[in-house]
Amino acid sequence: MASSKNLSRFWEWGRKIICVGRNYAEHAKELKNAVPTEPVLFLKTPSAYVREGAPILMPYYTNSLHHEVELGVVIGKGGKDIAQSSAMDHVEGYALCLDMTARDVQDQCKKKGLPWTLAKAFDTSCPVSDLISRETIKDPHNIKIWLKVNDVLRQEGSTSSMIFSIPFLISYISRVITLEEGDLILTGTPKGVAAVQEDDEMVAGIDDIISMRFRIKKQL
Ligand SMILES: O=C(O)/C=C/C(=O)CC(=O)C(=O)O
Ligand SMILES: [Mg+2]
């Protein structure tokens, strides 16, 4: 079951948020990107975390804030150079996450060959649900993640379509970045990303296991 007690532990620690991009072929194609042959990684800041009850703040410098619903993997046991075969032993549980993205800024960064920090890592760019135990999600590669904006379904995809599996991602990431207890890995978004406006309400969920609700506000 979801557990806010466990999540507050990792919340307080403000561990790393490691994001995987273009992990669903249909999403890579909708943004006219090639389907990757290796994971695309980027980071969010600890201050990107936001929890239900607080608003998502649209940065002043974007006119195109996109939603991306994603399955998050919460690391329970740290490690370096983790083998795929033992990678799941490092998983504490899961969380439903949003990778809020200033798409116009990201497009500019891509054109200029600049990093995606302004587009992806701003405060409140990572809404996170309660922790979901490993036992609750028996097969993380066969669940449906979905997102509605103002009651209209925008995204719905199965994690069975992920290009790189969770054990592969944990192993791949841990060769480059030491994983620590409380770290969060966002596993990429399925197709259907689109813009939200001030005062829009987003509701996202994993099957009927968990859902969360966030409203968009402009940064003052
Ligand atoms: O390359 C792009 O245009 C966009 C890539 C992303 O935003 C990647 C993700 O964050 C994702 O696929 O979830
Ligand atoms: Mg994403």
The per-residue pLDDT for 80 is 98
Take atom 13 of ligand 1 and give the residue whose Cα is closest.
188
Query: Considering the entire predicted model, what is its pTM?
Result: 0.95
Q: Does 129 have pLDDT greater than 80? A: yes
CATH topology of domain 7-218: Fumarylacetoacetate hydrolase; domain 2 (3.90.850)
Please identify, by atom number, the ligand 1 atom nearest to the C-alpha of residue 116.
7
**What does the pLDDT look like over 59-110, one tens digit per residue?**
999 999 999 999 999 999 999 999 999 999 999 999 999 999 999 999 999 9
pLDDT band at 128 (very low <50, low <70, confident <90, very high): very high
DSSP 8-state code for residue 24: B
CA-CA distance, 137 to 66, in Å (whole number)?
A: 27
Determine how β-strand 40-44 pairs with β-strand 195-196: unpaired
**Sheet strands (E) in the chain:** 2-3, 17-21, 40-44, 49-50, 56-58, 65-66, 69-75, 91-98, 101-102, 126-127, 131-133, 144-149, 152-158, 184-186, 195-196, 201-206, 210-218
Q: Is the CB of 72 under 6 A from ligand 1?
A: no
- From the CA of 27, the nearest ligand is 1
Ligand 1 pocket, residue 103 CB under 6 Å: no
pLDDT in tens, 97-116: 999 999 999 999 999 999 99
Q: What is the mean predicted confidence (pLDDT) over 182-193? A: 97
- pLDDT of 55 > 70? The answer is yes
Q: Is the ipTM, as predicted for this complex, more than 0.85?
A: yes
Whether the per-residue pLDDT at 12 is higher than 70: the answer is no
How do strand 152-158 and strand 126-127 relate by DSSP bridges?
A: unpaired
